[in-house]
Structures are given as C-alpha cells and as structure tokens.
Amino acid sequence: MKFSLRSKLPHLFVGTVTVLALTSTALLAQDDAAAPAEGQTQTLWDLIAAGGWAMWPLGLFSVCMITLAVYNFMQLTRKKFVPPLLKQSVLSHMAEVRVRSSIEEAAESASYLGRMLATALPHVDATEPETLGRDKVEDAVADFAVKENPAYMSWVGYFSVIAQASPMVGLLGTVSGMIKAFQTLGISGGSDPTKLAAAISEALVTTAAGLVVAIPCLFFFYLFKNTFTKLVTEAQDTMTAAMDAAIATVNADQQLAKVPEGIAEA
C-alpha cells in the first residue's frame, strides 16, 4: 500500500472537527454561565461570532489545516522514506554486488526507498561491468520520482491553497462588514452606534481571522516541502551510493592494476 495513512484522513478530519466542536461548546457554556458585564472585554467566542458568515469557511479552512498538518507529520518521516536498516542492508549487499538480494529485500519494504530500489535495481546490467547500466538505473529512478512524488506533494500543496484562499475570504468578509457599516450610517445617520460597531467588528475580525489561518499554512507548506525534498534526496543519494559501491567492487581488480608498483603492497 502506497499510503497507509490516506485511508485514515477522514478519521483525522472527523476527530479534528469533534475536538474543535467540543472545545467551542465548552467555551460557549462558560460564556453563558458567566455573562460579561456591560463594558467588559469580549471573549474569544464573542470575537468569532462577531466575524459573521465569513468565519464559517475560515473555520473549515482551519480544520483542514490541522488535519493536513497531522497527516503530513505522520507521513513524511525518515522511517517511511529511508529506513536506516534497509539503507544499511542494501549498501552492504551492493558492496558485494548482491543485486538480487537487494531487490528482494527492497520489495518487502513499503517505504519510498524500498519501492524505488525495487523499481530501479532490476535495470542493473551485468554485461556493462564499467557502469552496470547506470544510465538505465538513473532513468528508472527519474521515472519513479515522476510517478510517485506528485502524490506526496499534492497533500503539501493544499497548504498553499488554503494560505492564499483564507486572506481572500477574510477580505470578502471585510468588504461585507464595511458595506453593512455604510448602510447603517445611511439608514440611521449614526444614531445607532451598536449596529455600526457590529458591522465594523465584522470587517476587522474577518481580516484578522484570514491571516491567522494563512500564516500557519505558509509555515507548514515550506516546512513539509523542505522535509519532503530532503527525504527524497536522501533516498536518491542512497541509490547513488549503492551503485557506486557495486561498480567499485566489480572494477576493483582493474583499478588495482592501475596502481603504481609498490603502492598496492603498502
């Protein structure tokens, strides 16, 4: 299975919604139990409620952000990409040119490195002792990356989408609030400061909420993007090291023959 965690995404999403819903209910119950006196500072729930309709899509974005963050933290790990034991074992096998053993061990691993090795190592060509068909192996690695990498990056890319959409929704809420504010001024002529303040609050809160969602999304996007790049690079470097070890072993006698007399014995 390529992504064992993918089937758990709905559960992560539902769990996140449940936790946030329970937290919101608890906060609302506390607010109802101790209603603030007139002139007292607003609670967080009051600010969220003041944001109006725009807070609903922004709330959905925040739930998606948390769900994606948990998923990527669980998915983009060294254990799932380049397991140390598999890496050491394959390098040991390839140093002795045990290509078949490397392929069999890699095929048993569901990790990124395991799948890449199982795809690329069958292209090793023993009829080309100087390179062992290195070009074919590298082409297979490139094809593997083209097919596999987008599946991982798509889950990281959603952070960028949310980071760009959240401020836009917040801005739309700001425009909506300002329209209401001017309508209130036009109708009441400023005689009803409560309605005017509510409209202005909607305009300001939605802008802030959009940024509160967007900023962490940008952080997560670059964090997971860089993490993925490092993991893929390590997997490809492992493949390169494995091929170097095998080629060096196959051509060891030829390399030794090129050493000036007297140095080899030393």
pLDDT at 6: 54
SS3 1: coil
DSSP state letter for 123? G
The answer for 5, left when phi > 0, alpha when psi is -120 to 50, beta otherwise, is alpha
Q: Are 203 and 174 in contact (CB under 8 A)?
A: yes
Helix (H) or strand (E) holding 30: helix 9-33
pLDDT along the chain (266 residues), means of 10: 51 51 44 49 72 88 95 95 96 94 94 96 91 94 96 95 95 87 73 72 87 95 97 96 93 60 49
Q: DSSP assignment of 124-180, as one string?
A: --TT-TTTSSHHHHHHHHHHHHHHHHHHHHHHHHHHHHHHHHHHHHHHHHHHHHHHH
| Verdict on whether the full-model pTM lies above 0.75 | yes
Backbone CA torsion sign across 140, 141, 145, 146: negative
Q: Where are the domains of the chain?
A: 49-247
pLDDT at 189: 64
